[in-house]
Amino acid sequence: MDNIRNLLNEVNTKIKSLETAKELYGEQLAPDFLVFDFVNTNETGLSRILACLLNPKGTHGQKTLFLENFIKICLPNIHKHENKIWQNYLANLSKTDVKTEDTTTASQSYRRMDIYLSAKINDESFGICIENKPYASDQQDQLTDYYKELKNRNLTHKHLVYLSEYGEPSEYSVKSNVLDIWQNEKVFSHVTYTQLVEWLKECKKDCQNQSVTEFINQFIKFIQKQFMGVEDMNEQELILEGMMKNSESIASAIKVSLNMYEMKRKLISKLVDELKTYSKELGYLIETANLTGNSKYETIRFIQRNQDFSVDIEFQGTAFNMPAICIIMNDEKKVNSESQKRVFEIFKKSMPDKELKGGEKWYVWYFFEIKNWWSETQAWEMIQEGKMSKEIMIEIKNCYNILKENHLLN
């Protein structure tokens, strides 16, 4: 126990020393300045960046460098396929065409594929659909429809890529037994943003343009901050140094990591207890499923008796990550497109500062302001201090007030 306490104290001391150094030399180092703070990094923006890099004819001028390394590092089912069915394509990567938002007309589902790579080489045709999910939850039958589109395009060889940091696609998008078939047939790959860092670092080695290299460096920093929780590489190095100091510190670090999930579960239990207390005072009921953190879409539901709508907090990633505030119709029989559109427009007008989204499942939903509960510490510190429950209740009350003021509850 003393070894663990000493490790935590040592790491904490080093982090505070680093923060002091930043204050002293911030003007010279500008450690928090990132180009990607001024770039569109929503789902569409990230798809455009990735499509540009993967395009052999892209303005980066590096020809097939990015595409070749992407397949080698992120798509082993293509690069190392035992039957070498992609061999002709791999030998002719320069013939690849790259599109974003390509409409699924062949299947008549009329969705839009985030990134579509295609090539016609002699009598063979190749197609790779990349579904980019940096933040949003899966849509109903989304991957199922994309695979159907690839199939209906009569491609010689097809492949479906699910790019998401937070676990494999949900049953809502594709049934697990179907996903198993795709994986066995090697027509599906799950790629994480963490893997993209490895891909970008490999590309950097052979990149021949300084501006492109600097863009790659900035992109890597963005991914590390946004999806991996690495705010500062110097901080990460200091922590690793403390953890790997000796065999005792290594053992202590592993013991701490093994208890991370349990710590989060206990903090979530504390949060729910506080929310129940506040909700009772305000006349809400709370329903929770088994909040384990093991699955996507675990939910805390706030209910008012005999009302048409409820307000949920839904964790759209595993480990209680990416919480979203969601407005749901309690009676599925009352759900219709006209009422969905009306409710969405009311919330859009009432919440001009929120990036609202809607869908078949939810009338309205938006991400909670503190979105990364996977690796950043702020949310968990607020739960421990009793502040998070108050912030959540502000959001819940605001949503219910909008419903009430617009006569939508009954």
Q: Are residues 393 and 332 in the same domain?
A: yes
Position 349 scores a pLDDT of 93
15 is a domain residue:
no
pLDDT in tens, 362-381: 889 999 998 889 878 899 99
- Rg (C-alpha) for the chain, rounded Å, is 24
What pLDDT sits at residue 32? 62
Q: Does the residue 160 lie in any domain?
A: yes
Same domain, yes or no, for 195 and 303? Answer: no
Do the domain assignments include residue 355? yes
Residues 207 and 275 in one domain: no
| CB within 8 Å of 285: residues ≥ 6 apart | 279, 302, 303, 304, 305
Domains of the chain: total: 2
**Which two structure tokens, joined as six digits, stand for 267?**
């903090």
Residue type, 94: S
Query: Lowest-pLDDT range, 18-32, 155-169, 328-342?
Result: 18-32
Give tens-digit pLDDT for 68-80: 999 999 999 999 9
> Which domain-ending residue is among 173, 195, 212?
212
Residue 308 confidence (pLDDT): 86
Residue 32 in any domain: the answer is no
Is 63 within the bounds of a domain? yes
**Pair (63, 205) in one structural domain:** yes
Please tell me the predicted confidence (pLDDT) of residue 266. Answer: 93
For 35-46, the pLDDT digits (tens) are 777 788 889 999
**pLDDT above 50 for 400:** yes
User: What pLDDT digit, counting tens, does each position of 255-285 carry?
Assistant: 666 778 888 999 999 999 999 999 988 888 9
What integer best gives the mean pLDDT of the chain? 86
CA 206 to CA 212: how far, in whole Å?
11
The answer to whether residue 61 sits within a structural domain is yes
My answer on whether 292 and 194 are in the same domain is no
How much is the pLDDT for 22? 46
Domain end call among 212, 245, 275: 212
Indicate whether 268 and 120 sit together in one domain.
no
User: Which pLDDT score is estimated for 305?
Assistant: 83
Quick one: 197 and 279 in the same domain?
A: no
pLDDT value at 61 more than 50: yes
Is residue 77 located within the same domain as residue 153? yes
Q: How far is CA 38 from the centre of its chain?
A: 20
Distance CA 78, CA 8 (A): 44
- Owning domain of residue 48: 43-212
Are 293 and 193 within one domain? no
Cα separation of the two ends of the chain: 56
Statement: residue 186 has pLDDT above 60: yes
Give the CA distances from residue 125 to residues 45, 117, 155, in Å, rounded to whole numbers and listed in that order: 28, 11, 5
Pair 153, 280 in one domain? no
When pLDDT is averaged across residues 148-173 and rounded to a whole number, the result is 92
Residue 20 falls inside a structural domain: no
In a domain, 314, yes or no: yes
* Residue 205 and residue 267 in one domain: no
Domain boundary among 212, 237, 252: 212
More confident residue, 191 or 316: 191
User: Taking a C-beta distance cutoff of 8 angstroms, is the pair 131, 190 a contact?
Assistant: no
Same domain, 63 and 157: yes
